[in-house]
Amino acid sequence: MRRPLVAGNWKLNGSRSANQTLMQALVGPVSGLGKVDVAVCPPFVYLEQVAGLCRDGGIALGAQDVSDQDNGAFTGEVSGDMLREMGCTCVIVGHSERRTLYGEDDAFTARKFAAARRHGLTPILCVGELLEEREAGVTESVVARQLDAVLAVEGIEALSDAVIAYEPVWAIGTGRTATPEQAQAVHAFIRARLADRDPDVARKVRILYGGSVKADNAAELFAQPDIDGGLIGGASLKASDFLAICKAA
Ligand code: PEP
């Protein structure tokens, strides 16, 4: 009943020629998949190029970040309106690399989430705990705090057309994946927390898993009842790996 979504986060990678090669290898096979939504999120400067390469290929275009502001004196920022104009339909918000490397806190992330929605973009809200937080047994309270910051600004209805990505920080780019059971437990916690506010929203919202998803571990993660696809970093840069992950969803 929830259509799976696999989104590729290219991070700070790509070039005009590499993007062309990757997208040409993806477009035909992805259009034949049918049962899964697929998106790619290149760096801002390549959005226009990749939008052209996505055309009619059944691949949605997303950005990796969005400004909390709409326009004005905010050097270096890119607004939701600009992303829409480039052809984006979704945007990653609150990725752990933004939170930990650039000091973006829960309140700032909530404002970015609101900006995405204001401009008609589907936010992919990333939540997840650090290794020390998992070891201290506070995973659920960290994830709850991150979710509640968005709910406080936007309300539960805002989640009805959003996507959540649970990404344990210790699993991102480390090759260390959460076990399907560990991931499912947090996904179920997130869904139950949303169900307390609105069971219908909780039933419908897609919750992706992210953190070292590879071609050989995707199927068992995606088989979990509350895992609705994945947010894929490193493995989204190689067409054969990304396609295998899309097929597993
Ligand atoms: C990510 O950047 O969101 C991610 C999950 O990265 P990786 O798949 O490389 O761990």
| pTM across the whole model | 0.97
| Residue 124 and residue 88 in contact, taking contact as beta carbons nearer than 8 Å | no
Q: Which two tokens stand for residue 108?
A: 């700032």
Residue whose entry in the numeric block shows the structure tokens 């480390």: 174
Residue 101 lies in a domain: yes
Residue 123 lies in a domain: yes
Residue-wise pLDDT for 91-100, tens only, equals 999 999 999 9
Residue 212 lies in a domain: yes
Residue 42 lies in a domain: no
Residue-wise pLDDT for 5-58, tens only, equals 999 999 999 999 999 999 999 999 999 898 999 999 999 999 999 999 997 779
Q: Residue 229's domain is classified under what CATH number?
A: 3.20.20.70
Residue 24 lies in a domain: no
| Residue 86 and residue 117 in contact, taking contact as beta carbons nearer than 8 Å | no
Sign of the C-alpha dihedral computed for residues 142, 145, 151 and 154 taken in this order: negative
Instruction: Tell which one of 5, 6, 9, 40 to mutate to probe ligand 1, the residue whose CB is within 8 A of the most ligand atoms.
Output: 9
Q: Which two tokens stand for residue 207?
A: 């919750």
- Nearest residue (by CA) to ligand 1, atom 1, is 233
Q: Which domain holds residue 146?
A: 1-7+78-233
- Separation of 126 CA from ligand 1 center, angstroms? 11
Please state the domain count of the chain. 1
Residue 180 lies in a domain: yes
Residue 94 lies in a domain: yes
Residue-wise pLDDT for 190-226, tens only, equals 999 999 999 999 999 999 999 999 999 999 999 999 9
Residues in contact with ligand 1 by the CB-under-6-Å rule are: 9, 167, 172-173, 210-213, 231-235
Residue 15 lies in a domain: no
